[in-house]
Structure 1
């Protein structure tokens, strides 16, 4: 029974990590047009000291160090004397791809969680007989 509980714990930690990733991706998409905004990235750490070794935890959120895009709009309040200002470094296509990958990983963890839950229910049904 403990192996089933470990599978539930591992898949739940994976779902939690991917949900955090999706939150940051949606935040990046929402701020794609915000001047000076830097894309946030999430790293995952394997927590070997946890009660269930191998659970996934969200590491530090890092800011993307790539160059900010340069926008030309002389009427913008942040524009310099040349009519340029710094936009964000968010690429919508990359964010959509990251969101799709996170969603698929979340779904895979959810299937594992559901399978382990069904196995534990089956085991309890056998024990009741």
Structure 2
């Protein structure tokens, strides 16, 4: 793996973690929302990641096929949680159904905060990889001086 491809891998990781952070922010923003039916209630969302494999290196002339070099990560979609939607008896709520129940989101704020910390740390690690790679490249340029 060349030093330049490290930027691609770390950059794709940063983009994926950024989307993960946006999803967490959306979940936390809707954690206290209520609806008049379970179908209309907000469901917690989570991104799905997939590994990107580099194209055949032999075909590009830059190496050997089967090097096992990774191309990074990508977000292939966002899933909704299938956890049960909690209901509360609030007959005075304007969104209450005919039986007096309102349905809240299935977002667990504690899980979302843990997810946020994990995504933030992963993003920071990818930034550190990019900075270290940049420093190595700059040191390599000064070897001949």
Pairs aligned (count): 127
Contact 2:12 2:73 in 1 (8 A): yes
Query: SS of the counterpart of 1:46?
Result: strand
| CA radius of gyration, larger in | 2
Counterpart check, 1:88 vs 2:105: yes
Paired with 1:43 and 1:112, the residues of 2 have a C-alpha distance of 23
3-state SS of paired residue (1:123): helix
Cα RMSD (Å): 1.7
Unpaired stretches in structure 2, ≥5 consecutive residues = 35-40, 58-68
In structure 2, C-alpha distance between the alignment counterparts of 1:121 and 1:15, rounded to whole Å: 22
- Greater helix content: 1
8 A contact 2:8–2:71 mirrored in 1: no
> Which whole-Å CA distance do the structure 2 matches of 1:49 and 1:116 have between them?
19
Q: What TM-score results when the alignment is normalised by the length of structure 2?
A: 0.80
Match of residue 59, structure 1, among 52, 76, 90: 76
Aligned to 1:34: 33
Unaligned ranges ≥5, structure 1: none
> TM-score, structure 1 length as denominator?
0.90
